[in-house]
Structure 1
Amino acid sequence: MENVLEVKDLHVTFTTYGGTVKAVRGVTFDLHKGETLAIVGESGCGKSVTAQSIMRLIPIPPGKITAGSILFKRQDLTKMKEPQMRNIRGADISMIFQDPMTALNPTLTIGDQIMEGIIRHHNVSTVAAKKTALEMMDLVGIPSPHVRLKQYPHQFSGGMRQRIMIAMALVCQPEVLIADEPTTALDVTIQAQILELFKDIQQKTGVSIILITHDLGVVAQVADRIAVMYAGKIVEAGTRRNIFYNPQHPYTKGLLNSVPRLDQAGADLIPIPGSPPDLFSPPAGCPFAARCDYAMEVCDKVYPFQTRLNREHQVDCWLQDERARKLLTSAR
């Protein structure tokens, strides 16, 4: 399957008064053409930093991409100058930010904000840009687009503002769309509508989507593949079926066990004990070892090798080692 984006061994740090935060530590993944890849994990695991690194929106300083590459159309985005990146942002790779109210400019009409990208990247007239903006507003389900085009962000509901953000991101027909927690601030009814909108738009445009979220319910509805992040690393990756029906990393299993179940009466939530490691000085071994019920001595000292279970499913865990399997079998 054709890759539209390849992230290889990405490292991102932030220099602070307290020291250097190693926010992303060797992240590697591919994005296939026309698919939805979900990156999941708890707050602070590095999901949003990874997304912002692809867009080169990391503030420098204090942030810095210290190693790795981000390949798009065989070009390494980490080595591009800012003028080159401005030509790619919004045109080839777009991003939907977490809070539409703070991402939208309250002093400009919705029409001005949607048309800005078209005029900037496609160099068309205002009349042509307006026509495209109206078509995009209709595509994302904004009623009476001719009237709404002249209104301001505060005149829209939260769900409608999120639809406007999606329209702004798609108006230049990008190949990659990054959605950073796009449903966090929405109630469940509007959330379902937005997720259906994503699927509908992907079918119509063929855009490849990176979905950043901590909500496994959202992931179950729209993701083709899933990458599970913890403490700046991808600890498990696979298809939706792999992750939901055959999870192998203890952290992935912990995430799934902490999701409310409506199909089991009286089922208890099982929280993951403990806290994530300090990324000022991350552990040398598996970052989940301190919270893992199956941790062994090697887990604290050496980071596990990656085990490829099949073509799409891979996991970083010492439990996959043949010696650990023998120990577990004998213990039973």
Structure 2
Amino acid sequence: MTKVLEVNDLHVSFQTYGGTVKAVRGVTFDLRKGETLAIVGESGCGKSVTSQSIMRLIPEPPGSIDSGSILFKGKDLTKLKEKDLRKIRGADISMIFQDPMTALNPTLTIGDQIMEGIMQHESMSKSEAKKKALEMMNLVGIPSPESRLKQYPHQFSGGMRQRIVIAMALVCEPEVLIADEPTTALDVTIQAQILDLFRDIQEKTGVSIILITHDLGVVAQVADRVAVMYAGKVVEAGSRREIFYQPQHPYTKGLLRSIPRLDIEGEELIPIAGSPPDLFSPPQGCPFSARCEHAMEVCDRVYPYTSALSKEHHVDCWLQDSRALAAASMK
């Protein structure tokens, strides 16, 4: 399958009064045409920073992309000038932000905000832009779009605002859509509708989606592949089935144990003990070792190499080392 985006060994840091926060530390993944890649992990693991780095929305300073590459259509986005990035943002790569209310301008009508992207990137008249905006509102399921076009964000419900933000992101028919926690502020009924909308839009447009979330229930419904992040690193990646049914990293297993299951009666939720490491001074070895019940001496000292368990399934864990596997089989 064709790769539309490649992130290679990405490092992002922030300069603060307390020192340098190493927020993203060597993240590598790719996105293929027409698929949904979910990036999951606890708050503060670097998911949103990674997604904003792709769009080059990290404020510089205090943030900086220290090394690595982000390849889109053969161009390294980390090397482009701001004027060239503006041609890509919204047109080729779009983003849905976490809170639809803060993503919308309360002083402009919904129509003006949807048409702004069209007028910026495509040579259309205002009447043509309005027609396309109405088509997009129909696509995302906004009733009576003609009258709704003239209304303001405060006149829409939370679910409707999220649909408008999705319409704004898709109006220029991008190849890549980054959705940063798109269902966090919504109740479960509206959340299900938004997820159905993502599936419908992907079938109709073929857009590739990067879904940033901590909700594994959402991941199970829409993702094709999953990347699990911890302390600024991708510690495990694989197909949805491999991550949910054959997890190998202790952190991935801990995430799965901490969510409720309806298929097992009376099962207790087991939280992951401890706290994430301090990214002012990240650990030299595996960042999860302090919280891992299987940690060995080597885990604290050396970061594990990446073990390929299948074509899609990769994990960074010393438990996959042949010596650890041999010791486990002797018990």
TM beyond 0.5: yes
Q: Take 1:139 and 1:103, find their aligned partners in 2: how far apart are those partners?
A: 20
Q: Take 1:2 and 1:289, find their aligned partners in 2: how far apart are those partners?
A: 36
Letter of the 1:121 partner, please give it: H
How do 1:32-43 residues align onto structure 2 when only pairs under 5 Å count? 32-43=32-43
Letter of the 2:46 partner, please give it: G
**Deviation, structure 1 residue 326:** 1.4
Please name the residue that 1:12 is paired with: 12
Tell me, what secondary structure is at the counterpart of 2:211? strand
Please name the residue that 1:306 is paired with: 306
Please name the residue that 1:111 is paired with: 111
Structure 2 residue 160 is the aligned partner of structure 1 residue 186: no
**Deviation, structure 1 residue 261:** 1.0
Tell me, what secondary structure is at the counterpart of 1:118? helix
**Deviation, structure 1 residue 264:** 1.3
**Deviation, structure 1 residue 328:** 1.6
How do 1:56-135 residues align onto structure 2 when only pairs under 5 Å count? 56-135=56-135
Please name the residue that 2:25 is paired with: 25
Deviations 1:199-239 (CA, angstroms, capped at 9, x unpaired): 00000000000000000000000000000000000000000
Tell me, what secondary structure is at the counterpart of 2:108? coil
Tell me, what secondary structure is at the counterpart of 2:59? coil
Q: Take 1:194 and 1:168, find their aligned partners in 2: how far apart are those partners?
A: 15
Letter of the 1:68 partner, please give it: G
Structure 2 residue 259 is the aligned partner of structure 1 residue 265: no
Letter of the 1:115 partner, please give it: M
Divergent runs of 4+, >6 A: none
Q: Take 2:250 and 2:82, find their aligned partners in 1: how far apart are those partners?
A: 41
Normalised to the residue count of structure 2, the TM-score between the two structures is: 1.00
Letter of the 2:200 partner, please give it: D
Pairwise CA RMSD? 0.4
Structure 2 gaps of 5+ residues are none
Q: Take 1:215 and 1:53, find their aligned partners in 2: how far apart are those partners?
A: 22
**Deviation, structure 1 residue 195:** 0.1
**Deviation, structure 1 residue 168:** 0.1
Letter of the 1:310 partner, please give it: S
Q: Take 1:102 and 1:119, find their aligned partners in 2: how far apart are those partners?
A: 22
**Deviation, structure 1 residue 262:** 1.2
Letter of the 2:84 partner, please give it: Q
Structure 2 residue 186 is the aligned partner of structure 1 residue 158: no
Q: Take 2:219 and 2:191, find their aligned partners in 1: how far apart are those partners?
A: 12
Normalised to the residue count of structure 1, the TM-score between the two structures is: 0.99
**Deviation, structure 1 residue 123:** 1.9
**Deviation, structure 1 residue 114:** 0.1
Tell me, what secondary structure is at the counterpart of 2:42? coil
**Deviation, structure 1 residue 28:** 0.2
Structure 1 gaps of 5+ residues are none
**Deviation, structure 1 residue 118:** 0.2
Deviations 1:48-98 (CA, angstroms, capped at 9, x unpaired): 000000000000000000000000000000000000000000000000000
**Deviation, structure 1 residue 26:** 0.1
